[in-house]
Amino acid sequence: MNYNNTDLRDIVSLALAFISVVIPTIFFIISSPDKITNQTLIIFGIIVLSIIIGSFLTYLYSRWKRMSKEIEEMQKALKVKELFNNMEIRLNVVEKLLDKLYNKRGQLNIDPRIILWILLIILLLLFLKSIGLF
């Protein structure tokens, strides 16, 4: 199978979500009701909510990225007619390089899936700590 970077991130997100739900569910099935505390139920609820919200935000982010790429492609297609002159092309390349050099402040490209992974791992560790495994 040939996976690109996005497919690998999707697989890791699904695996973490699955593990974060399955481990507490197995604990609830195996343990007796007196071992299940309110703290354990709250952490499990937070895990489920973060998976739902994170999945929704990841979907919106990926759709937004795809739409912005399509818009850029359309803008490039519209500008092709205007850029026949070699000097204009060279000026545009120089301007883009200068923009990349000087306008990097505040541009942090963090994939929301990585934040979701960190959140799920922390919540899973809190859950395991609340049931006494750590």
Give the model's pLDDT for residue 113: 84
**Can you tell me the distance from the alpha carbon of 96 to that of 55, in angstroms, rounded to the nearest whole number?**
34
Q: Is the pLDDT of residue 93 over 60?
A: yes
Q: How confident is the model at residue 1 (pLDDT cuts 50, 70, 90)?
A: very low
pLDDT tens per residue across span 13-48: 778 888 888 888 887 778 777 777 788 788 888 888
pLDDT of 106 higher than 70: no
Q: What is the pTM of this model?
A: 0.51
How far is 61 from 113, CA to CA, in rounded Å?
A: 10
Under the banding of pLDDT at 50, 70 and 90, the label for residue 86 is low
Confidence category of residue 130, pLDDT binned at 50, 70, 90: confident
CB 46 within 8 A of CB 120: no
